[in-house]
Structure 1
Amino acid sequence: MNILLIGSTGTIGKEIYNTLKDKHTVYGAHRNSDSYPIDITKPDSITRLFEKLPKLDAVINASGTAVWKPLSDLTTEDYHTGIHSKLMGQVHLVHIAKDYLNDNGSITLTTGILAEHYEPNAVALSLVNGALHSFVNAASHELDRGIRLNVVAPGAIAGDFPKDQKFAGYFPVQINEVIKIYEYILTSTLTGQTLKVY
């Protein structure tokens, strides 16, 4: 498969890259890449990258950010950070990627446990995660040519978070368990699904 992986240097992205690179042709993209630069907050940046790549079988996004603050401290600008990056960045990606994928291709987005479980200071992130789950559920029905759209929602990653400490009410998950889900989606027939790993 030809796979575009966005966020290939992050905690999850680098492990996806290392797992898939020996089995598939993986283009590891990120904001500071010399070879495959991309900024998902800018549709033109997304399009430029797709234009330089061959037709793809799958796109995986493991990038996007939001602000961590208590509700009482959150400003409109703080909310807009997550909406602009993690939410609309991934929405832009779907709109553009669908035209550059082969028939029956796959788009996989990333959210997390905060879509439905509370963690202090994470209101802004919970907002965008929940919105993305609704978007994937609805948008998956309107993609043509058999293109599938799913989202992976992991808990905190062990090693990145203390293994004996709960996050949003759950203990951290092993990175290899999370990566198995991204890999499974590539060859499954699933679409419109939120795959939770926590």
Structure 2
Amino acid sequence: MKLIIIGANGTVGSATSNELGSRHDIIRVGKTSGDIQLDISQSGQIRELFARTGKVDGVVVAAGSVHFAPLAQMEEEHFHVGLNSKLMGQVNVAQIAQAYLQDGGSITLTSGVVGEMPIRMGASAAMVNAALEGFVRGAAIELPRGLRINVVSPGLLEESVAELGSFFPGFEAVSSKRVGLAYAKSVEGAQTGQVYTVR
């Protein structure tokens, strides 16, 4: 299959690329690296991406920014970081990708553990992750031509513990191998409208 992985060089994207790269033709996309550069908060850039790649069999999005801060310090513009990037960036990829997917193709988005198990300073991330999962469930019943859409909700990856572990007290880290397998289940499987949690 010909697959696009957006955020391919990030921690989650790398795990996904490693799992799928041995079996499929991967186009690696990143904000500042990869085969093609893309800011998912800019829908024009998303359209340019697909105009360059042409028809594909699947799209994975493991990208998007969210502002972390204590709730008392969050202003409207801070919430818009996650709304414009991680939420609407992924939604816009899903919407635009449909015209470029082969029949039966797949879309896989990324939420995260904070949507289910909130952490301090993570109210915006919890909101965005929950919204992404709701969008996927709703979109799955309307997609045409046998297209499928799922979302992977990874926990704290082992590779991120040194940098982020202090924000996740009591959380058990998960292996990148398990995270990569969840994306493979979405891309290579048959289900749609699913939230694949990796805890």
- Assess same fold via TM > 0.5: yes
Q: Letter of the aligned partner of 2:121 in structure 1?
A: N
8 Å CA contact 2:15–2:179 kept in 1: the answer is no
TM-score, normalised to structure 2's length?
Answer: 0.94
Q: What CA distance in whole angstroms lies between the structure 2 residues aligned with 1:17 and 1:2?
A: 12
* Structure 2: runs of 5+ lacking an equivalent: none
Aligned to 1:97: 97
Once the two structures are TM-superposed, the CA of residue 31 in structure 1 deviates from its matched residue by: 1.4
8 Å CA contact 1:117–1:168 kept in 2: the answer is no
Once the two structures are TM-superposed, the CA of residue 183 in structure 1 deviates from its matched residue by: 0.9
* Mapping of residues 1-198 of structure 1, within 5 Å: 1-33=1-33, 35-162=35-162, 167=168, 169-198=170-199
Q: Letter of the aligned partner of 1:9 in structure 2?
A: N
Identity %: 36
Q: What CA distance in whole angstroms lies between the structure 2 residues aligned with 1:35 and 1:157?
A: 25
Q: What CA distance in whole angstroms lies between the structure 2 residues aligned with 1:115 and 1:4?
A: 25
8 Å CA contact 2:11–2:159 kept in 1: the answer is no
Q: Letter of the aligned partner of 1:92 in structure 2?
A: N
Query: Once superposed, which parts of structure 1, at least 4 consecutive aligned residues long, lie more than 6 Å away?
Result: 163-166
Q: CA RMSD in A?
A: 1.7
Q: How many residues align?
A: 198
Residue by residue over 1:121-147, the C-alpha shift from the partner in whole angstroms, topping out at 9 and shown as x without a partner, is 101110100111111110111110000
Structure with greater helix share of residues: 2
1:38–1:164 Cα change, 3 Å: closer
Q: What CA distance in whole angstroms lies between the structure 2 residues aligned with 1:73 and 1:27?
A: 39
| SS state at 1:95 partner | helix
Q: Letter of the aligned partner of 2:158 in structure 1?
A: A
Residue by residue over 1:140-170, the C-alpha shift from the partner in whole angstroms, topping out at 9 and shown as x without a partner, is 1111000000000011001211598782753
